[in-house]
A and B are shown apart, each in its own frame.
Chain A
Amino acid sequence: MQQQQTSNPLSSNASRRDMLKLMGLGGAALGLGSLNLGRRAMAQDMSVAFWATATLDIADKWQKFAELTGVTPQFTDNGNDIGPVVARLAAGNANDLFDVGGFQGGAEKELAKQGHIAAWDLSKIPNYASVWQWAKDIPYLQLDGKQIGIPTVVNADSIIYRPDKLGKVDSYGVIFDPKLKGRVAMEDAWINSAIFTAMYLKEAENQPIKDPGNLSESELGLVMEFLIKHKTDGQFRTFWNGWEQGVQLVANEEVDAMTGWEPIVYEGRKRGLQVEYAAPVEGYEGWGNNTVLLKGAVDRGTSDAAHAFVNGLLGGFYGCELGATRGYMVPSDKNLEYAKAHPDEYKADEVEKLAKHVQAKFAGKVYWQNTRPDNFQLYEEWWQKLRNA
C-alpha cells in the first residue's frame, strides 16, 4: 500500500523524516571523503558503522579487532545522552548512517516498537552463549520473545566516600544524613539520582516502591519530595555533572560522600586520596550498555556484518581491551579465555580480578538503570521542581 504524500513537506511526520533523511544524505554526500559512508564504500571486507557511547571506542585497536573478526568497525560517538539519540533515530538520519547502536539500557523496547531497531538473530552470534546469565536477564533486552539488545558492557554503581572522614559506609543513608549537611553530592541526572534515592527509600525505609528503576507516578512523587526536602535543607553541596567534575569534587575534598561512578574512585586513589567504593546494603544501581541492530542495517543488507561485529564484541579481545583501558566489563568468560591464550597482550589475573569484582557486585541486590522509564516526562518535570526548590 502506498502512502499518499502531501504537498507540504512539514505536514506529516513521515514526510518530515523523509526531508531530514534527504538532508542527511546530502550532508553525507558532501563529506564522502571523510565520513564513514565513504570509507565503507571503499572497504572490500565487511564493514559496520558503530554508533555508540564514546567510552566503547577502542581507537586504534579496532584494527586488531578487524583482523580477528573480519569486520571493520567505523566508530562514531553518539554522545551517550539517550534523548538526542532517540530523536535522531525517530526524526533524523541515524538509521541512514549507522548499522549498530551502543546505548545505555532502557529505551530498547520503545525503539523496537517504533521500528527503529530490529531483532538480533542469536544463531548468528555464537559467542552470545558465553554471556553471563544475569546479564542476559537485563529487563530491556527482549520484546515479544525477540532479542532486541545484546549486553555488551555492564557494571554497577554506588557511593564514593572517604573512609578517613566517615569510616566504613554501607548505606545510601550517608547521602541523606543531616550530620553531613553540605558535605555530600549526587549526580545532576534523574536517570541515576532518582533510582539511588528510590533504592534507599525502598530498602532502608520500607517505603512502598515496587521497581526503583521504573517508578509509578505516586512513587516518583514520594522519591522526589524526599529529595526536594533534603535539597532545601542544604544537604547537597552540589549536583555534579560529568567525569572531570566528579573527580574534582573528590580530589579537592569538596564532599565526603557522593553517589557516582567507580572509575572516580580509581582516579582519586591515583591522586593520593583515601577513597572507597561502598557495597551498600540497599544494593547497586546496575547499568548496561547494550548493542542494538539498527533498522537501517537490515534495509541496506548489512545485517550479517552487524551480527558478525557483535559476535566479535563478545569474542574476548574487545572485553580484554575495554577492561584494561577503562575497567569496563564485557559480561562473558571469553575475556579470560582470550587473555590466557594471549599472555603477551593481556594479563589473565587482571582480567579475572575485574570479572570477579563485577560479578561480586551482581551477586547481591541490583536495580537496573533505566534511561526510559514509563513516566519519563514526569521524571523531568519533577527534576525541574527539584532544581527550582
Chain B
Amino acid sequence: MPFRRTLLIAPPLAVVALIGVVPLALVVLWSFWTWDPATYWIKPDLSLAGYAGILNAGRWTVILSTLVKSFGAALLCSLLAYPLSYAIHVMAGPRIQMLLLALMTIPFFTSYLIRSFSWRLVLGRTGAINETLQALHITSAPLDWLLFSNFAVFIGFVASYLPFAVFPLLLSMRRIPPELMAAARDLGAGFWRAFFTILVPLTYAGLFAGFLFVFVMVAGSSTEVQMLGGAGASIVSVMINDVMRVANYPLAFAISVVMLITIFGMVLIGNAFFKLSGLFGEDAE
C-alpha cells in the first residue's frame, strides 16, 4: 500500500535530509553571506565575494588540479582494480578469495596518516627503494623525485583507495551468470572478445561505482598530498583548511559548493552512461 510504503520510507528519508541535505543547504546558503570582522562570523548580507575569492591567489587552479588528481587516481585505481578483481573472482578459490580480500582490508586497520607516513619511510632518501637501488648499483645517489612529488602522491592514493575500486567491481562481476561467458566461448569467441563484449559492458556499473568512490575520496583527501607531495603541495581540503584558519567562512563554503556541484554533476553524467542502478540488479541482465 502506498501509505504504508511512505510510512516505512519516511524515517530513513528524514535521517538523510537531516544529516545530508540540511547541512549541504546551509553550506550553499552561507556561501552567499558576508564575513563580519567585528564578530569573526558571517552575517546575512548577500554577496558573491566568496565565489570571487576563488578566482584570487590561484585558488581555482587548486580546484582544477584536485579534479585532475582525482580523475587520474580514480582511472589508475580502476585500471589496476579490473584485473585484480577478475583474478580474485575467476581464478582464486573461495579460501584464497577470502584471504585476498582480507589482505586488502588489513591496511585499513590503521589510519591514513600512518599509511602515508610509512610511504615516506619507503620512498625517502634513506628509504627501502633508494637503498636497494644503490645497493644494486642501479643508481649512485638517492632518487629525490621518489618522495615529495606527484609520483609519491599517486602511490599514496592508489595504496589508500584501490580497495574502494575493487569491491564494487567484484560485486558486479559476481552478478554475471557464468553461463554467459561459457556460451560466448562455445560460440567461438576468444578470451579477449568475450572479455570486451560481455564482461566489461556488464560490469560498467561496478567499474563506474569504483571510479566514483576513488574520485570522491581523493577529492576530499588531504593526508597523502600533505605528507607525500612537494613543498606546499595543495588540494581542495588543504585549501579549505587554510581558509578556515583565517575565518574566511564564505570563501570556504563557496569552494565546497563548487566541488559539490562538480562531483554531483559528474555522478549524474556518469550515471546516464553507466547506469549505477545496474550494480543492484536492475540492468544486469
Contact = CB atoms under 8 A, between A and B. Distances in A.
Interface of A: 10-13, 16-17, 81-84, 86-87, 89-91, 110, 114, 182, 185, 188, 231, 236-239, 241, 244-245, 248, 252-254, 376-377, 379-389
A380 B243 contact: yes
Given A83-B245, A252-B124, A90 B56 contact: no
A-B complex: 7 closest residue pairs judged by Cβ atoms: A83-B245, A388-B58, A90-B40, A384-B57, A236-B231, A387-B232, A91-B41
B125 A254 contact: yes
Contact of A385 (B44, B58, B148, B243): B58
A387 B233 contact: yes
Interface string B164-182: 0000000000000000000
Given A384-B239, A388-B61, A91 B40 contact: yes
A16 B41 contact: yes
A87 B29 CA distance: 19
A90 B230 contact: no
24 contacts: A12-B44, A13-B36, A83-B244, A83-B245, A83-B247, A87-B41, A87-B244, A89-B40, A91-B39, A114-B38, A182-B144, A237-B148, A238-B231, A252-B125, A252-B127, A380-B243, A380-B246, A382-B57, A383-B232, A383-B242, A384-B56, A384-B59, A384-B62, A385-B57
B121 A252 contact: yes
Nearest to A14: B39
Nearest to A375: B246
A86 B120 CA distance: 33
Contacts of B248: 377, 380
Given A114-B38, A381-B56, A386 B232 contact: yes
Given A91-B41, A236-B232, 7 more contacts: A84-B244, A239-B231, A252-B121, A254-B124, A384-B234, A384-B239, A385-B57
B117 interface: yes
A118 to B, nearest CB: 17
Nearest to A115: B39
Given A90-B39, A245-B227, A388 B234 contact: yes
Interface of B: 29, 36, 38-44, 56-59, 61-62, 117, 120-121, 124-127, 144, 147-148, 226-227, 229-234, 238-239, 242-249
A385 B232 CA distance: 10
A13 B39 contact: yes
Contacts of B126: 252-253
Contacts of B117: 244-245, 248
B232 A114 contact: no
B56 A188 contact: no
A91 B42 CA distance: 9
A386 B239 CA distance: 12
Contacts of A387: 58, 62, 232-234, 238-239
Contacts of B148: 237-238, 254
A52 B28 CA distance: 32
Given A83-B245, A388-B62, A188 B38 contact: no
B40 A377 contact: no
Nearest to B238: A387
Nearest to B229: A238
Contacts of B120: 245, 248, 252
B124 A237 contact: no
Contacts of A238: 148, 229-231
B54 to A, nearest CB: 11
